Chains A and B, each alone.
Chain A
């Protein structure tokens, strides 16, 4: 039974995710250097295996700031954004999808129209107009991602609920006088829980890419906060001098996304194989 549960677990992916989590949670204590610390003598120091040294294994940027330290510090923004974005988009989407799927009628019509409207504005364009109107920063990034992704959850959860509500046990519960709130919490929610977990895991990679793109454009996280996308925006200005400043943060983004996608795929196959076409 136990061995069965762990079969095919993507350990490498989990390891990467754990490393990102530890960097994000460990904070300053873990960092080899203060991530904002300037050392102009070390400016453009190449990675250790080229001609640098092991004090800053991934090299330094234009101001001599240690790239490894900044990548580790940047993981915090990725984790925080992913956490809140998924919590709110999943929460709002799940509630909207459950209510629309269960009650149907005009509630359902309104929701479907809202989803259509939301999907008629490209996500990045929505982000641009929001960033123009509001103060750019972490809360705006989360808001943009929530506005983009809640519809995705709502649509899928709605479909699941519509299939569930026709089942006999729901009808029995209703006939037996179980209240609507209790039907939602005790009879519907547990049945969509797996779907929610799978959707949330699959969303992690997309959220990280989205945050990086926004920060890269200058519409996301702002200096002096550190984010991988922002590091790349900086590094772009001296791309001819230091290729490592362009590649390293990108590799951090890629590995984190790859790991969460692989983990999400595995989880989906275990928990909810019919979501495979997503």
Chain B
């Protein structure tokens, strides 16, 4: 187990270094960052001076080393726009994003588990069929459009819920649904097929033979086992939520990392874009790492196999 843990950790570290190279190289594609920092009429000597102090006169690999050196201690430079450290800006906005991602995840699981269980228990029944139609539709609707439709219906037509903003509980509802909408289909499928496997197993048949009430069998004994595949996948879905947050936060004016980075892109505020993308990547890798490890914890066969 420890060996697996060590190897996965190393792989994760490697991925993050790779991601930092990608981020660094792409941001340098955009041309000279100096132009962005100094006024247009800055004298040539000032540009040269700045270039030297920032180390931009050195070869690219040396520049990368400087970048990573600073990144390691959390220094991505100051935001051009907000005049504060980029990383701090991202950290300030992080709680709102995490809250949104958790609520989105809760919504998707809260829908997927009952629908998946009922689809499996009543295979081919109406829940199964309606669920499948919704899954097909859900996979074909972009998250931002779902968000807009929800605003149209619940905020504008019915006036039940606020269309944007952050703070009160009611402001969580629409963003969380838009974010959690897409993974529902996949999660339902995971629960359904796991349930079908478990319901067919010996210990469930034994409980049935012993006369245990069906409700108890399904929702307690079977679900407990069938939930494992979904639980181990939660990290993957959480990571997906972080990606989806970029779009959903923009629609609902949510003060999170996603919207901050999108706005920074338009303002050409590179330190913030770099810090935001780097940070999301680290969260992304970390959640995938957790998934791999939880597999090992849940299923001892995997521990030694890899």
Contact = CB atoms under 8 A, between A and B. Distances in A.
Interface in A213-261: 213, 216-219, 229, 232, 236, 239-240, 243, 246-247, 250, 253-255, 257-258, 261
Interface string A177-221: 000000000000000000000000000010001001100111100
Interface of A: 113-114, 116-126, 128-134, 205, 209, 212-213, 216-219, 229, 232, 236, 239-240, 243, 246-247, 250, 253-255, 257-258, 261-262
Find the residue from A117, A129, A213, A217 having the highest chain B CB count within 10 A.
A129
Given A116-B15, A120-B16, A250-B149, A129 B277 contact: yes
A128 B246 CA distance: 9
Nearest to B189: A277
B141 interface: yes
22 contacts: A116-B18, A117-B14, A120-B16, A120-B18, A120-B19, A120-B284, A121-B280, A121-B284, A125-B246, A129-B265, A129-B277, A131-B265, A132-B268, A132-B273, A134-B29, A205-B139, A205-B140, A246-B148, A247-B152, A254-B140, A254-B145, A262-B136
A133 B30 contact: yes
B171 interface: no
Interface in B223-249: 239, 242-244, 246-247
Interface of B: 11-12, 14-16, 18-19, 21-23, 26-30, 136-137, 139-145, 148-149, 151-152, 156-157, 239, 242-244, 246-247, 250-251, 261-262, 264-266, 268, 270, 273-274, 276-277, 280-281, 284-285, 288
A159 B190 CA distance: 23
Q: Which residue, B142, B151, B266, B273, has most C-beta atoms of chain A within 10 A?
A: B142
Given A132-B265, A247-B149, A213 B142 contact: yes
Nearest to B280: A125
A129 B27 contact: yes
Given A209-B142, A254-B140, A125 B281 contact: yes
B262 A128 contact: yes
A247 B149 CA distance: 7
Given A128-B261, A246-B148, A261-B136, A121 B142 contact: no
Contacts of B250: 217
A213 B280 contact: no
Given A122-B284, A217-B262, A250 B141 contact: yes
Contacts of A134: 29-30
A246 B145 CA distance: 8
What are the nearest 10 A-B pairs in CB distance?
Answer: A117-B18, A257-B140, A133-B30, A122-B243, A120-B15, A258-B140, A250-B145, A132-B265, A125-B277, A133-B29
Contacts of A218: 266
Nearest to B163: A239
Contacts of B21: 117
Nearest to A262: B136
A268 to B, nearest CB: 14
Given A113-B14, A128-B246, A261-B140, A243 B23 contact: no
Contacts of A240: 156
Most buried by B among A118, A121, A257: A121
Nearest to B27: A133
A213 B144 contact: yes
Which of A113, A118, A213: most chain B Cβ within 10 A? A213
Contact of A124 (B26, B246, B251): B246
A246 B23 contact: no
A212 B11 CA distance: 33
B243 A258 contact: no
Contacts of A125: 243, 246, 261, 276-277, 280-281
B281 A121 contact: yes
Given A116-B18, A128-B265, A129-B274, 9 more contacts: A114-B18, A117-B19, A120-B284, A121-B277, A122-B280, A128-B277, A246-B149, A250-B149, A253-B141
